[in-house]
Amino acid sequence: MKIDKKLEEVLLNKDEELDHPLSSKETPIRKDAFNKTDDEKISLITDKVYDILHILGMDLTDDSIKGTPNRVAKMFVNEIFGGLSPKKKPKASVFDNKYKYGEMLVEKNINLYSTCEHHLLPIVGKAHVAYVSNGTVVGLSKMNRIVDYFAKRPQVQERLTLQIVEELQKVLNTQDVACVIDAKHLCVNSRGIGDIGCSTITSEFGGIFKSPTKKQEFLRYIQLSTDFNG
């Protein structure tokens, strides 16, 4: 990911508050969200998707489409919105930092697939996450799993960025966590304005990463080439 000078300046001078308010840092989930089993949800959603396709005029007796309502329902519950279920939250094991590594650790280019909660269209991009140990470290793959868990729900990118940072802060018992996400929103790319070239960048810097020096160091790291093919 290339960050030009103007964008880097914006990120380095980012205020603690977002430019526009979110409804909540928490995903808006009802208290009775888990009263139904996954199978019950799949059955109900299948019926609703069938109704939508029928209203649109599709012939649901056709071999190609007759299984679509059930496929969509299973995809919603088991896959792209699986991050709504607390049961699927990754258990992030932490370990003592016995080797006393005191610099930032950066996990960059984490593949991110989410769904815009406004139009239920895909958000596809990369997350870059960093932390400085406060005595504990977390397995590298757990950082990817945390990104994936919070991405797999109806989302807005700003909230997703905050949720990733706050979860890692809890897991690692430190404020020194940062995240930058660069993603394409198909609600912008494939409908409305239809601008296929643009992407959205969000960031959250906690603790030591609020320092312009550390912030700039992190931004430099995520621009390093990861082409190891020579």
| 15 and 110 co-located in one domain | yes
Would residue 211 count as lying in a domain?
Answer: yes
Spacing of C-alpha 130 from chain mean position: 15
Would residue 102 count as lying in a domain?
Answer: yes
Tell me the pLDDT tens digit for each residue of 20-77.
445 578 999 999 999 999 999 999 999 999 999 999 999 999 999 999 999 999 999 9
CATH no. for residue 205?
Answer: 3.30.1130.10
Provide the whole-model pTM.
Answer: 0.86
Among the ranges given (60-64, 160-164, 213-217, 221-225), the one the predictor scored with the smallest mean pLDDT: 221-225
> Is 187 noted as a catalytic residue in this protein?
yes
Q: What share of the chain is helix, strand, coil (3-state, %, to 5)?
A: 40, 20, 40
What pLDDT is recorded for position 24?
Answer: 73
CB 146 within 8 A of CB 83: no
- Choosing from 8, 119, 175, 217, which is the catalytic residue? 119
User: Higher pLDDT residue, 196 or 146?
Assistant: 146
What pLDDT is recorded for position 5?
Answer: 59
Please provide the average confidence, as pLDDT, over all residues in the chain.
Answer: 90
What pLDDT is recorded for position 196?
Answer: 85
What pLDDT is recorded for position 21?
Answer: 47
Residue 3 has pLDDT above 50, yes or no: yes
Tell me the pLDDT tens digit for each residue of 88-111.
999 988 999 888 999 999 999 999
- Choosing from 118, 198, 216, 223, which is the catalytic residue? 118
> Is 163 noted as a catalytic residue in this protein?
no
Give how many domains the chain has, as a whole number. 2
Q: What percent of the chain has pLDDT over 70?
A: 89
What pLDDT is recorded for position 14?
Answer: 53
CB 179 within 8 A of CB 146: no
| 58 and 159 co-located in one domain | no
Question: For 114-134, what is the mean pLDDT?
Answer: 96
State which of 65, 84, 103 marks the end of a domain: 84
- Name the amino acid, one letter, at 173: N
| 130 and 195 co-located in one domain | yes
What pLDDT is recorded for position 137?
Answer: 93
Angle at CA 147, nearest 5°, toward 228 and 207? 95
> Is 198 noted as a catalytic residue in this protein?
no
> Where does residue 75 rank: exposed (0-12), middle (13-18), buried (19+ CB within 10 A)?
middle
- Choosing from 107, 166, 187, 204, which is the catalytic residue? 187
Residue 9 has pLDDT above 90, yes or no: no
> Is 118 noted as a catalytic residue in this protein?
yes
| 46 and 111 co-located in one domain | no
Would residue 227 count as lying in a domain?
Answer: no
Q: What percent of the chain has pLDDT over 90?
A: 76
| 136 and 186 co-located in one domain | yes
| 150 and 205 co-located in one domain | yes
| 22 and 44 co-located in one domain | no
Question: For 10-23, what is the mean pLDDT?
Answer: 50
| 58 and 15 co-located in one domain | no
Instruction: Report the relative pairing of strands 104-116 and 122-132 from DSSP bridges.
Output: antiparallel
Residue 216 has pLDDT above 70, yes or no: yes
E strand or H helix at 5: helix 5-12
Residue 85 has pLDDT above 50, yes or no: yes
| 116 and 76 co-located in one domain | no
* Cα distances (Å, whole numbers) of residue 220 to 8, 103, 114, 185, 211: 10, 14, 26, 25, 14
| 140 and 206 co-located in one domain | yes
Would residue 228 count as lying in a domain?
Answer: no
Farthest CA pair distance, the chain: 64
Q: What is the DSSP letter of 120?
A: -
- Choosing from 116, 128, 163, 179, which is the catalytic residue? 116
| 60 and 144 co-located in one domain | no
The pLDDT-based confidence of 15 (bands split at 50, 70, 90) is very low
> Is 166 noted as a catalytic residue in this protein?
no
- Choosing from 117, 169, 175, 217, which is the catalytic residue? 117
| 21 and 133 co-located in one domain | yes
Residue 217 has pLDDT above 90, yes or no: yes
Domain residues for the domain of 141 are 5-28+88-221
> Is 157 noted as a catalytic residue in this protein?
yes
CATH no. for residue 50?
Answer: 1.10.286.10
Would residue 157 count as lying in a domain?
Answer: yes
> Is 20 noted as a catalytic residue in this protein?
no
Would residue 194 count as lying in a domain?
Answer: yes
